[in-house]
Amino acid sequence: MKLFTKVASILGLIGALAIASAQTAPVSEQQAAEAIKFRQADMDMQAYSLAPVLPMLDGARFDAAVMLKASSRLAVMMEMLRDVFETNTSVLPLKTNARNQIWSDPLAFELQIRDMQAAVANMASAATKGDQLATLKATRTVVNTCRTCHERFAVGLK
């Protein structure tokens, strides 16, 4: 039964993404520039949210409250990813770090977003419990998941 549910979920996601891709309306250069601006703002806020926790990964004093605050901010940014990448800017000659695969392979991008959301949720859960080892491990997973996304879907970002 669990396998059936997973398969049905994936097939539903594929269908929804196919419909969404087929219905993408052409955008003006101004709309695309605006979309790029919002995407960059989301990425900047992710970096801002992670900045206070990164030293803890290198041995700085652990602070569960800081970790929880960062994970709650990141959760909002992760939720917004679908929205800020909705507009396909790959067809216009604008400067962006977004790779075309975001729109040519929307299922892979959606699955990456889900991986990031799960990693952030695990970070929040561990931080809520005050479990230092689990929180640090979960935070490393968040960082690695972000890095994987950048490697797959962004040009020139680490």
- Single-letter amino acid, residue 124: A
pTM for this entry: 0.81
Maximum Cα–Cα distance for the chain, whole Å?
A: 50
pLDDT digits (tens, 9 = 90+) for 98-155: 999 999 999 999 999 999 999 999 999 999 999 999 999 999 999 999 999 999 999 8
- Going by C-alpha positions, the residue among 134, 115, 149 that lies closest to residue 68 is 134
Beta pairing partners, 51: none
pLDDT digits (tens, 9 = 90+) for 130-145: 999 999 999 999 999 9
- Cβ atoms of 141 and 127 within 8 Å: the answer is no
- Domains for the chain: give ranges and CATH numbers: 28-153 (1.20.120.10)
> Over pLDDT 70: what percentage of the chain?
82
